[in-house]
């Protein structure tokens, strides 16, 4: 069943075309990821579909009863009370029911006879409605969701007017998720979430009965949650079945086919034009005119677009000593006028030349503080961090706010290094600042543009140690891929803080994992860490299951306590029953494994009907397996 549809939508800003001829459909339980370069119109499309923005042509179809939960990139600073008050509005009807039930309970106590019976009936009706709407569980649901999106009790008590953009956005996300809409529309929901929040949101969306549309540049996230990708680029919308990785594969195959078809058509057109030019006035002029008419009617294939993306080269990195940074008894924290606050202790580590180290951990745990401390930007509470021989650090700050807003893009680069205008133009062009754009003021740039400018200012200094704090923030996917290519080719040492799991998986060969009060140095990749985590989980599960595989000795004692029975026959019968149960358990486990493979395949293809049927069968088989194991251990 379709929840939302559109036909031949068009949108322009003045004479600039944003998108045109967009036709789409959102079905029940759809899991849609929306991708495209910054400025391609992704947010505008969402706002048009939700009736929040006018459009220039086409039609939108949706049910009047469609319930939508929309979370913008940054929630507006509006509303009264605390963030908790704002989130609790989702349950306003349940909260009112609680008040009505309390009033009704007092009415029962204060009345007699017919009035008391009426009060009791009213209380019973209210209680039935309260229970049917999940009244006994709504507080637990709210607690789980606010914890999942990373809102602490302190955050919840913050006034909406005083909350940061990240806090307001996470509160808006919690509100939308708790409302249980028919369609969730999320615009860059991962921007303010840490690893824990990302994994929780992925699990929530995959289990949710709601359809959702999500704009994101987080490829890892899109691989986990999307079963359909919409790409907006060059004012057109294309749809692809599958997650992000499948989309990339399908798109590359499509681009290769289109390029071949374009070349073939261009060769055909050239041959026809040559024929027409040669014979337009000779004996074969009639044929030439006929070919000219056919050539005019031919539908021209568009030339393959050369995607404009950041072209970053790392340049030559001068050689450092073998040890780039070393720490000794380092304690990380900060000092106030009254006292010092210790965040955690760092084990003695040595970061070696040519390595790539990712610093990971939850929001607010001190990742940036650690980064600044080990490079000497801020003091440690105690201990020391030492830079190695010939180390030249290039530090990319989170947010890029240090670039003066009154400067132009060109002036911001020349502030770092004295270049000729031609050299500066050439260098900035590699970061997509071309033509008159180099004269734009920094204050007018978007977050992604500021990030690109900050990278250009960093790399023009030719550092041999890159220290990056959330380098992919505000970058679109093409720019992220270009950044990754540069970092892979970089000949020096890289240390970075990030929540971008794709970046971490691709680059890091060492991890500094910050938990409450401590830092763990993991000598391996993010994939190695996940394998270790999965292995530990499997070991714990295996330990839980050990009693199932080791029947207790009570069977023997029970046999000895019944001397009147023939013990030999009893043992044979018990052995026979045990073998039957073991065979049944083995058969059920095999069927469950087969079903799980089919479920995975159905999930990969987005076959929701098959997922539903297979899911029910999977639950039934698991119940049968539980019963079989229970009988086997009796």
> Quick one: pLDDT band at residue 554, thresholds 50, 70, 90?
very low
pLDDT for residue 556: 35
Residue 239 DSSP SS3: strand
Which residue reads 């607690």 in tokens?
143
pLDDT for residue 212: 95
Q: For the purposes of burial, counting CB atoms within 10 Å of the CB of 306, is it exposed (0-12), middle (13-18) or buried (19 or more)?
A: exposed
Q: How far is CA 489 from the centre of its chain?
A: 26
pLDDT for residue 570: 38
**CB proximity list for 320: less than 8 A, separation 6 or greater:** 353, 388, 389, 390, 391, 392, 464, 465, 492, 493
- Name the CA radius of gyration of the chain, rounded: 32
Determine the average pLDDT of the residues in 85-113.
90
Alpha-helical segments (H) within 490-566: 501-507, 526-549, 554-560
- Enclosing H/E stretch for 230: strand 228-233
Angle at 540 between CA 535 and CA 542, to 5 degrees: 90
> Quick one: pLDDT band at residue 548, thresholds 50, 70, 90?
very low
pLDDT for residue 538: 59
Higher pLDDT, 347 or 455: 347
Determine the average pLDDT of the residues in 485-514.
91
How are strands ordered across the β-sheet holding 31-35? Answer: 68-71, 183-187, 211-215, 31-35, 228-233, 236-241
* pLDDT of 551 higher than 50: no
pLDDT for residue 530: 86
Q: Compute the mean pLDDT over every residue in the chain, rounded to the nearest whole number.
A: 84
Q: What is the pLDDT of residues 154-201, one digit of tens each?
A: 889 888 888 877 888 889 899 999 988 999 999 999 888 888 889 999
Q: What is the pLDDT of residues 1-34, one digit of tens each?
A: 789 999 999 999 988 899 999 999 999 999 999 9
Cα–Cα distance between 193 and 470 in angstroms, integer? 13
Q: How are beta strands 356-360 and 493-497 bridged, if at all?
A: parallel
pLDDT for residue 558: 37
Q: For the purposes of burial, counting CB atoms within 10 Å of the CB of 621, is it exposed (0-12), middle (13-18) or buried (19 or more)?
A: middle
Residues above pLDDT 70, as percent of the chain:
84
Determine the average pLDDT of the residues in 82-109.
90
> Quick one: pLDDT band at residue 373, thresholds 50, 70, 90?
very high
CB atoms within 10 A of CB 52: 11
Cα–Cα distance between 129 and 100 in angstroms, integer? 12
C-alpha closest to that of 236 among 410, 457, 22, 89: 22
- Enclosing H/E stretch for 244: helix 244-279
Cα–Cα distance between 574 and 558 in angstroms, integer? 12
Backbone angles phi, psi at 316, to 5 degrees: -85, 130
Q: What is the pLDDT of residues 420-471, one digit of tens each?
A: 999 999 889 888 888 899 999 998 887 778 878 888 888 888 899 999 998 8
* pLDDT of 628 higher than 70: no
* pLDDT of 308 higher than 70: no
Q: Which residues of 413-452 are buried (b: 16+ CB within 10 A; e: fewer)?
A: bbeeeebeeeebbebbebbbbeeeebeeebeebeebbbbb
* pLDDT of 370 higher than 90: yes
Alpha-helical segments (H) within 3-112: 42-49, 83-88, 92-109
C-alpha closest to that of 32 among 301, 247, 200: 247
Q: How are beta strands 382-387 and 323-335 bridged, if at all?
A: antiparallel
Q: What is the pLDDT of residues 590-618, one digit of tens each?
A: 787 777 777 667 666 655 556 555 655 66
Of 9-18, 49-58, 122-131, 606-615, the one with minimum mean pLDDT is: 606-615
Cα–Cα distance between 196 and 49 in angstroms, integer? 31
Residue 126 DSSP SS3: helix
């Amino acid at each position: 069943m379709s929840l939302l549809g559109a036909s031949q939508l068009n949108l322009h800003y003045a004479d600039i075309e944003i998108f045109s001829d967009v036709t789409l459909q959102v079905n029940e339980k759809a899991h849609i990821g929306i991708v495209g370069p910054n400025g391609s119109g992704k947010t505008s499309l969402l706002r048009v579909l939700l009736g929040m923005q006018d459009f220039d042509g086409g039609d939108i179809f949706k049910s009047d009863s469609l319930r939508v939960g929309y979370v913008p990139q940054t929630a507006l600073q509006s509303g009264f009370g605390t963030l908790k008050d704002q989130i609790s509005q989702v349950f306003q009807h349940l909260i009112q029911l609680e008040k009505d039930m309390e009033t009704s309970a007092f009415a029962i106590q204060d009345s007699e006879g017919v009035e008391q019976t009426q009060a009791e009936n009213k209380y019973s009706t209210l209680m039935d409605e309260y229970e049917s709407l999940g009244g006994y569980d709504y507080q637990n649901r709210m607690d789980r969701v606010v914890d999942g999106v990373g809102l602490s009790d302190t955050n919840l008590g913050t006034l909406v007017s005083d909350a940061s953009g990240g806090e307001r956005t996470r509160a808006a996300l919690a509100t939308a998720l708790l409302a249980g809409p028919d369609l969730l529309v999320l615009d860059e929901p991962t921007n303010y979430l840490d690893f824990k929040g990302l994994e929780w949101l992925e699990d929530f969306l995959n289990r949710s009965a709601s359809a959702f549309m999500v704009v994101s540049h987080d490829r890892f996230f899109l691989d986990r949650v999307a079963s359909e990708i919409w790409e907006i680029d060059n004012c057109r919308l294309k749809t692809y079945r599958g997650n992000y990785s499948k989309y990339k594969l399908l798109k590359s195959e499509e681009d290769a086919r289109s390029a071949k078809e374009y070349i073939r058509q261009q060769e055909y057109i050239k041959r026809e034009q040559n024929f027409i030019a040669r014979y337009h006035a000779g004996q074969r002029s009639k044929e030439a005119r006929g070919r000219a008419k056919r050539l005019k009617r031919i539908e021209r294939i568009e030339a393959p677009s050369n995607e404009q993306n950041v072209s970053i080269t790392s340049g030559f990195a001068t050689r450092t000593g073998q040890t780039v940074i070393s720490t000794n008894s380092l304690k990380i924290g900060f000092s106030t006028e009254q006292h010092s606050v210790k965040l955690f202790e760092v084990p003695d580590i040595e970061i070696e030349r040519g390595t790539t180290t990712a610093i990971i951990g939850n929001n607010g745990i001190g990742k940036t503080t650690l980064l600044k401390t080990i490079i000497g930007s801020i003091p440690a509470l105690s201990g020391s961090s030492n830079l190695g021989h010939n180390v030249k650090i290039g530090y990319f700050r989170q947010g890029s706010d240090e670039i003066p807003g009154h400067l132009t893009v060109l002036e911001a680069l020349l502030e770092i290094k004295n270049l000729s205008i031609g050299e500066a133009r050439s260098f900035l062009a590699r970061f997509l600042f071309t033509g008159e754009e180099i004269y734009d003021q920094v204050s007018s740039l978007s977050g992604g543009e500021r990030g690109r400018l900050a990278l250009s200012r960093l790399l023009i200094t030719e550092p041999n140690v890159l220290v990056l704090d959330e380098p992919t923030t505000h970058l679109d996917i093409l720019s992220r891929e270009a950044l990754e290519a540069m970092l892979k080719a970089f000949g020096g040492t890289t240390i970075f803080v990030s929540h971008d799991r794709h970046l971490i998986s691709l680059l890091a060969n060492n991890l500094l994992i910050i938990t409450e009060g401590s830092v763990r140095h993991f000598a391996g990749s993010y994939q190695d860490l996940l394998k270790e985590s999965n292995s530990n989980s499997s070991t714990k599960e295996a330990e839980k299951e050990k009693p199932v595989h080791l029947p207790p000795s009570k069977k023997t004692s029970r046999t000895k306590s019944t001397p009147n029975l023939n013990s030999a026959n009893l043992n044979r019968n018990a052995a026979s029953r045990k073998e039957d149960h073991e065979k049944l358990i083995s058969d059920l486990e095999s069927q469950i494994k087969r079903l799980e493979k089919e479920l995975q395949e159905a999930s990969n293809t987005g076959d929701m009907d098959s997922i539903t049927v297979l899911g029910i069968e999977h639950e039934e088989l698991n119940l049968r397996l539980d019963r079989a194991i229970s009988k086997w251990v009796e």
